[in-house]
Amino acid sequence: MDIKAVIEKVISDEEIIKLTQDLVRIPSCPQVEAYEKEIAEYIYQLFEKEGIEVSIKPILGERPNVIAKIPGSGEGKSLMLTGHMDTVPPYKMDIDPFGGEIIDGKLYGRGSVDMKGPLAAMIMTLIAFKRAKINLQGDLVFVGVINEEYRSEGTEDLVKNGPKTDAAIVGEPTNLQIATGHRGLEWLDIKIKGKAAHGGTADKGINAISKAAKFIRKVEEELLPKFKAREHPLIGPPTLNFGVIKGGTQPSSVADECSIQIDRRWTPLETLDQVFEDLEDIIKELQEEDRDFKAEIRRIESNMATMDHKPMEISLDHPLVSSLKRVTGRVINKTAAIVSFPGWTDASLISNFGGIDTVVLGPGDLANAHSEKEYIEVAQLFPAYSIYALTAVDFCGIIN
How would DSSP label each residue in 288-353? HH-TT-EEEEEE-GGG-SSS----EE--TTSHHHHHHHHHHHHHHTSPPPEEEESS--THHHHHHT
Instruction: Read off the DSSP letter of residue 29.
Output: S
Per-residue confidence (pLDDT) for residue 1, from 0 to 100: 61
Beta bridge partners of 30: none
pLDDT confidence band for 19 (50 / 70 / 90): very high
Chain segment 332-359, per-residue pLDDT in tens: 999 999 999 999 999 999 999 999 999 9
C-alpha 279/C-alpha 243 separation (Å) is 16
Q: Which residues contact 250 (CB under 8 A, 6 or more apart)?
A: none
The yes-or-no verdict on residue 305 having pLDDT over 90 is: yes
Per-residue confidence (pLDDT) for residue 117, from 0 to 100: 98
Per-residue confidence (pLDDT) for residue 218, from 0 to 100: 98
The yes-or-no verdict on residue 7 having pLDDT over 90 is: no
The whole-number average pLDDT for the span 371-399 is: 97
Axis crossing angle, helix 381-396 with helix 13-24, rounded to the nearest 10: 110
Q: Residue 275, SS3?
A: helix
- What is Dmax (Cα atoms) for the chain? 86
User: In this prediction, what percent of the chain has a pLDDT beyond 70?
Assistant: 100
pLDDT confidence band for 8 (50 / 70 / 90): confident
Per-residue confidence (pLDDT) for residue 48, from 0 to 100: 98
Phi and psi, residue 84, nearest 5°: -95, 145
The yes-or-no verdict on residue 34 having pLDDT over 90 is: yes
Residue 170 half-sphere exposure toward CB, CA atoms < 13 A: 30
The whole-number average pLDDT for the span 299-312 is: 94
The yes-or-no verdict on residue 400 having pLDDT over 90 is: no
- Please choose, from the candidates 5, 3, 26, 56, the residue with its C-alpha nearest in 3D space to the C-alpha of residue 120: 26
Per-residue confidence (pLDDT) for residue 302, from 0 to 100: 87
Q: Which residues contact 129 (CB under 8 A, 6 or more apart)?
A: 70, 136, 140, 389, 392
- Give yes or no for a cis peptide into 163 (omega within 30° of 0): yes
How far lies 129's CA from each of 123, 265, 382, 387, in Å?
A: 11, 39, 15, 13
The whole-number average pLDDT for the span 142-149 is: 98
Rg (CA), the chain: 24
CB atoms within 10 A of CB 195: 15
The whole-number average pLDDT for the span 90-103 is: 95
Residue 388 half-sphere exposure toward CB, CA atoms < 13 A: 36
Chain segment 37-48, per-residue pLDDT in tens: 999 999 999 999
Mean pLDDT rounded to a whole number for the chain:
97
pTM for this prediction: 0.95
Q: Which amino acids are annotated catalytic?
A: 86, 148
- Give yes or no for a cis peptide into 115 (omega within 30° of 0): yes
The whole-number average pLDDT for the span 372-376 is: 97
The yes-or-no verdict on residue 141 having pLDDT over 90 is: yes
Length of the chain: 400
